[in-house]
Amino acid sequence: MKRILVTGAGGYIGRYVVKALLNHGATVIAADLYTKEIDDRAEKVTTNIFSGSENLYKDLKEPEICLHLAWKDGFVHNSDSHMEMLSSHYHFIKHMVEHGVKQLAIMGTMHEIGYYEGAINENTPCNPSSMYGIAKDALRRSLFTRLEGKDIILQWLRAYYIYGDDKKNHSIFAKLIQAEEDGKTTFPFTTGKNKYDFITVEQLAEQIAACVLQTEITGIINCCSGQPISLANQVESFLQKNGFKIHLEYGAFPDRVYDSPAIWGDNTKIKAIMGKQRKT
């Protein structure tokens, strides 16, 4: 089994991806600034991957595959850090390729697309409307241009609306948990009519692991459910599942003008990948 470096291994998504890869028998090098909560079966490396060290590839145990999940302020879409750190991501990936990595898998986001109605596929044009989406879109474009024609397997794993382990994220689900714990009886909400592609962090981790553990399907890969569900239905289901007493106050906030009425991922590629994994 090839050695897989996972950056951001101690993060919200990373911890689950490391576990999924290990459960499938992979050898995992888990790198992050904080590694305490990472599965102990992994080979942990506590380091700053953006240090610019010439010995970085060696310090990271000379992996053959790099799964790059590290990203600061992923839940703060207009943080200045997205643009400020863009070149650091580019130089890190460039360093890894120049020193021996033969397969790159990088975490993308549906926020690269911007306003769009319908299913997103790998040919959907991008017009991002947040600093997060702009930075991710720029990184993807630069890497696909830089590595074109090179002997490198490149996979861009585009994630959608993630939930689960909700106290660890900054989503509406985390806010609902806090409101319930605070004893609030109502929660101000939009109309809830917008439809999104929801996926649990555990399901996302399994999809990411499956993508990295195969090399036939490459390029942009949507890691998603492929099913649009209204925000209201998803949140009401969450409240019922957890036995919360809090009620949604529909229409307290207007729907944001830049949110699509319905947007989801085309899951053709990920279905093929998951189908291959089940057969092996």
Give every CB contact of residue 75 below 8 A, 6+ residues apart in sequence: 169, 170, 171
Whole-number Å distance between alpha carbons of 129 and 257: 11
Which one has a higher pLDDT value, 254 or 22? 22
Domain boundaries, the chain: 3-162+197-226+266-279, 164-194+229-249
280 — pLDDT class (breaks 50, 70, 90): low
- Is 161 an annotated catalytic residue? no
The residues pairing with 118 across neighbouring beta strands, listed in sequence order, are 263
Instruction: State which amino acid sits at residue 265.
Output: G
277 — pLDDT class (breaks 50, 70, 90): confident
Query: Do residues 166 and 223 touch, judged by C-beta distance below 8 A?
Result: no
Q: Which fold has domain 3-162+197-226+266-279?
A: Rossmann fold (3.40.50)
Mean pLDDT to the nearest integer, 82-94: 98
Residue 257 has pLDDT above 80, yes or no: no
Whole-number Å distance between alpha carbons of 67 and 70: 9
- Output the CA torsion 225→231→232→236 (10° steps): 60
Give every CB contact of residue 239 below 8 A, 6+ residues apart in sequence: 176, 246, 248
Mean pLDDT to the nearest integer, 72-98: 96
* DSSP code of residue 225: -
Whole-number Å distance between alpha carbons of 186 and 267: 36
What is the side-by-side order of every strand in the sheet holding 195-200? Answer: 161-163, 195-200, 228-230
Reported pTM:
0.94
Instruction: Tell me what percent of the residues of the chain surpass a pLDDT of 90.
Output: 90
Of 132, 160, 163, 196, the active-site residue reads 132
Residue 177 has pLDDT above 90, yes or no: yes
Mean pLDDT to the nearest integer, 34-59: 96
Instruction: State which amino acid sits at residue 184.
Output: K
Q: What is the CA radius of gyration of the chain?
A: 19
Instruction: State which amino acid sits at residue 81.
Output: S
